[in-house]
Each structure stands twice: as structure tokens, then as C-alpha cells.
Amino acid sequence: MATEVTLRAPGAAANPLRAGLDSNRIVDPCTIVFFGASGDLTKRMLIPAMYNLRLGDVLPTSFAIIGFSRSDKSHYDFREEMKEAIDQFSRSGPAKDPLWSDFAERMHYIQGSFDDVESFKELKRQLEENDEKLGTAGNRLYYLATPPGIFATVIQQLAAVGLGPKDQAQGWSRVIVEKPFGTDLESARALQAEVTKVFDEKQVYRIDHYLGKEPVQDIMALRFANVMFEPIWNRLYVDCIQITAAETVGVEGRGGYYEHAGALRDMIQNHVMNLLALVAMEPPISPHADHIRDEKFKVLSALRPIAEDEVARVTARGQYGPGLIEGKPVPGYREEESVDPNSITETYACVKFFVDNWRWADVPFYLRSGKRLARKHSEIAVKFRGIPHRIFGEAGDQIETNTLVMKIQPEEGVSIRFNAKIPGPKMHIRGVTMDFNYGTGFGVVSAPAYERLIGDAMRGDATLFTRWDAVECAWVAVMPVLNRWTEPRQVDFPNYLAGSQGPQPADALLVADGREWRRI
């Protein structure tokens, strides 16, 4: 078993100059390896995130980056390509010397095929050279930014050349796995079996960039750093919870991937289920990663199973046709590149879940996600029950039920909708909104999720990453829906216009319960 080398305890605690200094710097030296280094994710998100971590002085003193991909290029070409990516996509603008030169010198590139063991031997050689020349101390973070089908191959190859954590004489190894973790329950379990042959669960960081967003982290702060919400956060006061992840974009050139994914796999099974877990979980006993993840697991394992014959009653799906987004015409899904003209892949999914526990018994959780909707908008809305007895308000006044909304994107904040008396001699009642916005409330701009999450993985903080038991539970929960939806049958697609609120069956699902969706 490898010995973990960490400078954290002696480095930070024993330096008397550190007292009172609020530093986010990662202490452990490390090399981070990006598999899929020629891909869009690496260029648009990962390398700009790394550079911004450097600009923020968050990276450790000794760090290195290795790009691994099939494309044939030199170290120099890779550095130039990544500089262009930073210049184009970094939130802090173009890369400049002397920091860029210093950053670039720590970047190397390995050209190779994922199933070629020789390429991995070359990777090992480069890692050892980094340890010796750049002081990275044997600590390795592998980032699988590859298509999901290659995850297992990469992990097997790492083990084959002695780069698995069990082979290390010193230092730690961790692996970041991009979503989706499997394409269904069976494939997820198979992938997990391959991963755990090489890495322990504590060394696996399943990334869900939604969890890196500041408002998502604030869900726990709102609930557990305040006393006024928890007493009413239960079936006695909550009528229902609506979780929305709406996008205006289409498949953005990823039609090939999306055809095999769909909204249920792409969004509901991971991002949206994670939000459900955070909003429904019991208070953890500490902020420790495993204490939080234990509570999330309990919620997901309490989801009431959906019988396949009730799928039609508790779910709805849709596919967008042509329409208008921000006044501009956009094609329908079936007209998108690499999409089957008769595709039955859903671009919109909504599911009604119940959490069968003491707190949430019979409170419906409505989850929805879709592409090409009216607005880019993600939120969790906690809708409270109505007042038990009406004493105020004139006959025509509508007494609204209270709603607490956690806004995730693009707005980030919290709003509360409650009733107030309209000034005047009569007791007219009107709904008003009290709003908190991160940007104006704290005067700071949240760092992009990838910066936060890569930094956390380098620190070894798994709080914002998804543990296997939660992934498995989420797959178990959606499998009956997935099975039903993948049956070959006639589907009336497309069934919603691009730029609309979504398909009519989704509205009907709530209307049948005597409720309605919040407007997107």
C-alpha cells in the first residue's frame, strides 16, 4: 500500500506566519494528467481552470500538467494550443509572461492510443521525470476527460504499467471521472467493478460540475446555518418540491452522444438527482465529505421505486421541434447534426419521485430538465402548503402559497415569496418577493465550478463529488423509466416547440395532481 505524502499538517500548522492568513493554496505537490487532452472539455474548461487556479495562486508550489491524447503533437504544439485555449476561454483574459512561461514549462504532452500500453509506459516515464525535476512528489491526479466508453480502458492501462495507487512507493493517486458514470445500472456497475480493481472508493472523484456551483453549495448553508427553515422543511409544511434544469441550447454538435443519452441520462440521473439529495437530506453530523455523502445516500436510497407500469403516470418526456430562441429560428432536434431524422431520444424529461421517509412521506418531488426551452434557468422551488384558514384579503385577492426558491443559474441566489398587505384602508393582500443575490449580496463573482472541483480533488476533499452508492441509487431509481422509454414504440415526437415551456404531457402530469409548474 502506498504511503501518502502530505505537507499539509506540518506545512500549514507549524508556520507561525500562517496565522490569520486566509490562503486557499493547495499544499501537496502534484501532477495532473488530462486524458482526452485534445478534446473540447480540456480546451474550454479544464486548462483555463488550471491557469486561473495558477493566477489565483491556488496551485501548489510544485505542480505539473500532462496532456494525453491520440492526436500527434509535440510538447511545444500542446503548449501553444493550450495558450490559444486560455486566450479564448479563460475568464481572466489572455495568458501573459512571466506567469505563462512558468506555467507552460510545467506542461507536457504524451501522444498515444488509450489501448496502447507503450503510451502508458511513456506517461509513467514523464511522471517520474516530473517527480524528479519538478518536485511533484509522486502525487498524481488522473482526469478522465474522454468519452465514457474509454474510462475502464484507461484505468486498466494505468494498472498495467504500475501507475495504480497500490503500486506507488510514495505519494497519492486519485482519479476524476467525468459523467456519465455508465449508461445504465448494469454498465455503471461494470465500470465500478473495473475502477475498484485499481482505485479505492476514496480515490475516485466522480465529477458533477453542478455540485461545484456556489448556489448548490449554499443549499446546505441555507438549511443548516439557519434556524428558521428546518422546522418547516418537512411534509407538514411543504406541499411539493420542483427542481428545474432548463437550457436554451440544443445539442451543440454533440448529437452523436446525445442520441444515446437523452435528458434522463444526461441531466436527471446525475445533476438533478444530486440537487434532490441536497434539498431532502437530513442534517449531516459534520461537514466531512463522508458525513454529507452518507446523508445524500440515505435520501436516494429512500426514493420510492417506480413500477414500470406506472411510468406513464409519473413521468413525461418530449423532444423539441423547430422554434425560436431569443427571437432567432432554430432547427428541431431531428434536424441537428448526427441525429437520426426519426429519433425518439427525449430532449425533455420530467419525473415525479417520492422520498419514503419520515420527513418527506407523500411530498412529491417533481424533477424536470430539457433543452431548447424558453430560458436558461435552474432552480429548486420549495412550495409550501396553503394557509389553514383565510382571514385576510378582499374577495378578489388571491392568497398565494409561500415559495422558497434556490436559484442556481444563471441567477445565483435565494428568493422567498410571501403575502403582504397592499397599503391602504382595505385589507388587500398581494404576493411579494424578497430576494438575495450572490453577486450583489457579497459583491463577489463565484469562480467557475471546474476551478473549485479540480482544486478540491487536488486537496483530497471529496465533499462535492458523487460517491458510488449515490450513483448506484440514482441509476436504480431511473432504470424503470429508462427501460420503458427505450422500448421500441411509436412516440409522438417532436412534441414541443423550441423556445417554449416544454411538452404538454409535462404540464398534464402536474395538473393531474392539482398543481402547476413554475414558469421557466
Partner 1 sequence: MSLHLDSPTDTNAILAQLDRSRHAGGDPGTRVVTMNFVVFVDDPAHRVWVLLRAQLVAQKHPSRLIVLDSTNATSGVEVSTATRENGGATIVNERVQIGVSTLDHRSIISLVHELSVPDIETVLWWSGARLLQSRTFSGIANHAGTVLVDSSGKARGEETIRELGEFLSWFPSVALRDLAFMRLMPWQDMIAQFFDDPALREDLFSIEGLEIESGSDAEALYLAGWLGSRLSWEIAERDAFRDRSGRRIPFTKIDKGDQRRVGSVVLRSRDSVYRAALSEADPHVVALSVEGAKATAVRYVPLQNVGNTSLIERAILENAHDRIFETSLLTVRELLG
Task: Please report how close the Cβ of residue 125 comes to partner 1 at its closest, in angstroms.
Answer: 22
Binders of partner 1: how many residues, by CB under 8 A?
39
Task: Please report how close the Cβ of residue 320 comes to partner 1 at its closest, in angstroms.
Answer: 27
Q: Do the beta carbons of residue 41 and residue 148 sit within 8 Å?
A: no
Q: Does 322 bind partner 1 (CB under 8 A)?
A: no
Residues 145 and 148: their CA atoms lie apart, in Å, by 8
Cell numbers that stand for 418 in this block? 410571501
Q: Does 410 bind partner 1 (CB under 8 A)?
A: no
Exposure string over 76-114, b if 16+ CB within 10 A, otherwise e: eebbebbbebbeeebeeeebeeeebeebbebbbbbbbeb
HSE value, Cβ hemisphere, 13 Å, CA-based, for 128: 11
Q: Does 27 bind partner 1 (CB under 8 A)?
A: yes
Q: Does 21 bind partner 1 (CB under 8 A)?
A: yes
Reply yes or no: is the peptide bond before residue 287 cis, omega within 30 of 0.
Answer: no
Q: Do the beta carbons of residue 244 and residue 369 sit within 8 Å?
A: yes
Distances (CA, A) of 342 to 80, 359, 454: 42, 44, 39
> Quick one: DSSP state of residue 212?
G
Q: Does 225 bind partner 1 (CB under 8 A)?
A: no
Task: Please report how close the Cβ of residue 23 comes to partner 1 at its closest, in angstroms.
Answer: 6
The residue with cell 495507487 is: 165
Interface of this chain with partner 1, residues 421 to 480, rule: CB under 8 A: 423, 432-435, 437, 440, 442-443
Q: Does 98 bind partner 1 (CB under 8 A)?
A: yes
Q: Does 18 bind partner 1 (CB under 8 A)?
A: yes
Q: Which one is catalytic: 108, 209, 271, 377?
A: 271
Active-site residue 428, yes or no?
no
Residues 456 and 292: their CA atoms lie apart, in Å, by 15
Piece of 7-15, 65-73, 152-160, 202-210 that binds partner 1 (CB under 8 A): 7-15
Piece of 21-29, 145-153, 301-309, 328-336 that binds partner 1 (CB under 8 A): 21-29
Q: Do the beta carbons of residue 265 and residue 180 sit within 8 Å?
A: yes
CB of 256 or CB of 441, closer to partner 1: 441
β-strand partners of 3: 170
Task: Please report how close the Cβ of residue 419 comes to partner 1 at its closest, in angstroms.
Answer: 13
Task: Please report how close the Cβ of residue 134 comes to partner 1 at its closest, in angstroms.
Answer: 10
Interface of this chain with partner 1, residues 32 to 71, rule: CB under 8 A: 54-57, 61
CB of 59 or CB of 175, closer to partner 1: 59
Residues 474 and 276: their CA atoms lie apart, in Å, by 11
Identified binder of partner 1 from the candidate list 72, 80, 84, 102, rule CB under 8 A: 102
What are the residues binding partner 1 (CB under 8 A)? 7, 10-12, 14-23, 25, 27, 54-57, 61, 96-99, 102, 407, 411, 413, 415, 423, 432-435, 437, 440, 442-443
Active site residues: 271
